[in-house]
């Protein structure tokens, strides 16, 4: 009992101490007050997501986003620039319209994939075909292959249910749910084996079908959530590739299976724009005492274009922009330079941040800390020390003054382990710079919004995003003010369970500076 009382008293003293320290520091008070009472998040979100829209690398919309960000920063009195780091295949999405015209007329829900070849306004009309139910080997596949000539080929497995598992858990009997899962897993295994028997995989089979004369490719990359499909890039050179939502896709599949011979018309207009420059948007508030040391706020700016990229990574972008706005207003003369990087082409392999790290070793060498945010709209719930031996000493100091209503949700992991990929913090970690990912609660991110056609403004939880702004702004302020330079001493990594060998620190990698043009 006495031990319990001591713990409670310690917690109380910490909370009182934090509250007292905030009251004694007007900058902290003003950061919190500005974020809570004068938030610009909703207006910024509208401008970025509703007006600028999706930000696929190589598109005019991506360049529009960079220009918009520079203009916003300049309007706040913050120096900003677009920094070119490479080129990418230029492409612009046009109208997609998909109709079933036989055995009846119905407009289908779907869209062309990124970098899809243009069909022109006249479109392509053809019947549909599915892969054989049982492919014995590559020879039998080659014997069947001529059948695709002049047909749209349905290349995704027909899902046995369009209901996500949580819906089954709520309403189905336990026996029914287990039966569905067993049948689905058996179907998946059979589908994968069938594809392997062709001699190809789900990616390499597509150019083979195109070469055999297919009229187009129809996919349905269901995200295991109502109405959500993953939208990535086309792998065809001349024929259209479209993704159709599960409900309409499985209807087409059944029509083929039952011999009803569905015919569809696909209009997928697009423009090839040649090589387009790619950029990072960089903005900075110059340090007054140590201008050549840097606190970097980090978020990738690009998105896939199935929707508007709201949670991947519009929300991370908004956090960093709003934090910079508030810092400029409430902390205009930081000790260290506070910089923000809005990276391009993260989705294709961290290319923008890797380019920045490669091009600016003098900045990376003098990084005090990098704070990166990427995965969705939720409040930050985890911060790892990223494998830096003494990360606890400085991160815990900085977190100490963050309001408890924010930190109470955050688990920390020290010293943690270095990230080898996943988001742009990894580019800095590989170069030895202390970079920390502000990992957020997912709000069904992986199924509903990550790279899907449902990643839109309405999915943003602004209360959580505002908390992340306060957290980020305070961390940047504390890192800037800290009298000590952060340590870069790394932990000794453990043995790999997979290989049985000593694990090594991730190596720095060069970006792809000429993408999509092979």
Same domain, 111 and 170: yes
Same domain, 303 and 400: yes
Structure tokens at 176: 């029914």
Identify whether 193 is part of a domain: yes
Identify whether 239 is part of a domain: yes
> Residue 102 and residue 263: Cα distance in Å, rounded?
5
Structure tokens at 233: 């890039």
Same domain, 439 and 474: yes
Identify whether 16 is part of a domain: no
Same domain, 63 and 122: no
Give CA angle at 307 (303, 313), nearest 5°.
35
What is the per-residue DSSP string for 312-374?
IIIHHHHHHHHHHHHHHHH-SS-SEEEEEEEES--TTTSHHHHHHHHH-HHHHTTEEEEEE--
Structure tokens at 151: 């047909």
Sign, CA dihedral 418-380-334-359, equals: positive
Assess contact for 470 and 402: CB atoms under 8 A.
yes
Assess contact for 69 and 318: CB atoms under 8 A.
no
Q: Give the domain CATH number at 182.
A: 3.50.30
Assess contact for 477 and 470: CB atoms under 8 A.
no
Same domain, 223 and 292: no
**Residue 274, Cα to own-chain centre: how many angstroms?**
25
Same domain, 170 and 144: yes
Reported as half-sphere exposure (CB side, CA atoms, 13 A), residue 475 has a value of 31
Same domain, 147 and 213: yes
Identify whether 486 is part of a domain: no
Identify whether 128 is part of a domain: yes
Q: What is the pLDDT of residue 8?
A: 40
Same domain, 143 and 207: yes
Residue 201: asked if its preceding bond is cis (omega within 30°), the reply is: no
Same domain, 167 and 282: no
Boundary residue ending a domain (238, 261, 284) = 261
Boundary residue ending a domain (207, 233, 261) = 261
* Domain coverage including residue 230: 104-261
> Residue 473 and residue 33: Cα distance in Å, rounded?
12
What are the residues facing 296 on neighbouring strands?
339, 370
Structure tokens at 334: 């930081």
Q: Phi and psi (nearest 5°) for 415? A: -80, 0
The closest of 178, 305, 138 to 231, measured between CA atoms, is: 305
Structure tokens at 48: 């970025």
Q: Give the domain CATH number at 405.
A: 3.40.630.10
The CA-atom distances, in angstroms, between 427 and each of 62, 302, 345, 356 are 21, 16, 13, 9
> Residue 305 and residue 374: Cα distance in Å, rounded?
17
The CA-atom distances, in angstroms, between 191 and each of 20, 188, 200 are 62, 5, 13
Identify whether 307 is part of a domain: yes
Identify whether 517 is part of a domain: no
Same domain, 209 and 341: no
Q: Phi and psi (nearest 5°) for 177? A: -65, -45
> Residue 515 and residue 518: Cα distance in Å, rounded?
8
Q: What is the pLDDT of residue 517?
A: 87
Q: What is the pLDDT of residue 498?
A: 87
Same domain, 376 and 428: yes
SS3 call for 279: strand
Boundary residue ending a domain (261, 289, 312) = 261
Identify whether 123 is part of a domain: yes
Reported as half-sphere exposure (CB side, CA atoms, 13 A), residue 194 has a value of 15
Which parts of the chain have pLDDT scores under 70? 1-23
Same domain, 151 and 292: no
Tell me the whole-structure pTM to 2 decimals.
0.94
> Residue 141 and residue 153: Cα distance in Å, rounded?
14
Domain count, the chain: 2
């Amino acid at each position: 009992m006495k031990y319990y009382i001591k713990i409670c008293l310690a917690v109380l003293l910490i909370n009182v101490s934090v509250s007292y320290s905030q009251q004694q520091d007007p900058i902290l008070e003003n950061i919190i007050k500005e974020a809570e009472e004068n938030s610009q998040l909703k207006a910024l979100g509208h401008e970025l997501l509703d007006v600028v829209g999706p930000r696929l690398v190589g598109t005019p919309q991506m360049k529009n986003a960079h220009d918009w960000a520079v203009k916003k920063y300049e309007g706040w009195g913050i120096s900003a620039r677009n920094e070119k780091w490479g080129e990418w295949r230029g492409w612009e999405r046009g109208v997609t319209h998909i109709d079933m015209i036989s055995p009846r007329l119905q407009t289908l829900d779907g869209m062309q994939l990124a970098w899809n070849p243009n069909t022109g306004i006249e479109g392509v009309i053809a019947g549909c075909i599915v892969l054989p139910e049982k492919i014995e080997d590559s020879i039998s596949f080659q014997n069947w292959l001529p059948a695709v000539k002049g047909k749209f080929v349905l290349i995704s497995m027909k899902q046995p249910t369009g209901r996500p598992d949580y819906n089954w858990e709520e309403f189905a009997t336990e026996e029914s749910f287990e039966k569905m899962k067993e049948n689905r897993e058996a179907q998946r295994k059979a589908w994968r084996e069938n594809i392997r028997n062709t001699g190809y995989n789900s990616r390499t089979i597509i150019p083979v079908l195109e070469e055999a004369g297919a009229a187009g490719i129809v996919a349905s990359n269901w995200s295991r959530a109502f109405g959500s499909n993953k939208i990535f890039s086309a792998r065809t050179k001349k024929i259209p590739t479209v993704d159709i939502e599960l409900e309409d896709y499985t209807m087409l599949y059944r029509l083929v299976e039952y011999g009803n011979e569905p015919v569809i018309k696909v209009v997928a207009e697009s423009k090839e724009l040649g090589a387009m420059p790619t950029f990072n948007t960089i903005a900075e508030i110059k340090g007054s005492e140590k201008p050549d040391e840097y606190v970097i706020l980090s978020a990738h700016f690009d998105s896939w274009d199935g929707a508007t990229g709201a949670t991947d990574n519009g929300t991370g972008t908004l956090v960093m922009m709003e934090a910079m706005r508030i810092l400029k207003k409430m902390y205009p003369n930081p000790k260290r330079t506070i910089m923000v990087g809005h990276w391009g082409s993260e989705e294709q392999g961290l290319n923008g941040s890797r380019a920045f790290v490669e091009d600016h070793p003098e900045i990376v060498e003098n990084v005090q800390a990098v704070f990166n945010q990427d995965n969705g709209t939720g409040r930050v719930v985890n911060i790892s020390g990223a494998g830096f031996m003494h990360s606890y000493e400085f991160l815990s100091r900085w977190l100490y003054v963050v309001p408890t209503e924010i930190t109470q949700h955050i688990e920390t992991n020290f010293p943690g382990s270095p990230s080898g990929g996943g988001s742009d913090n990894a580019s800095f970690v590989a170069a030895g710079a202390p970079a920390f990912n502000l990992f957020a609660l997912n709000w069904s991110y992986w199924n509903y919004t990550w790279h899907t056609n449902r990643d839109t403004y309405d999915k943003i939880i602004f209360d959580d995003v505002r908390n992340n702004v306060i957290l980020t702004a305070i961390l940047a302020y504390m890192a800037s003010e800290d009298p000590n330079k952060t340590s870069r001493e790394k932990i000794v990594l453990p043995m790999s369970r997979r290989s049985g060998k000593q694990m090594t620190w991730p190596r720095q990698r060069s970006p792809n500076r000429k993408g999509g043009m092979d």
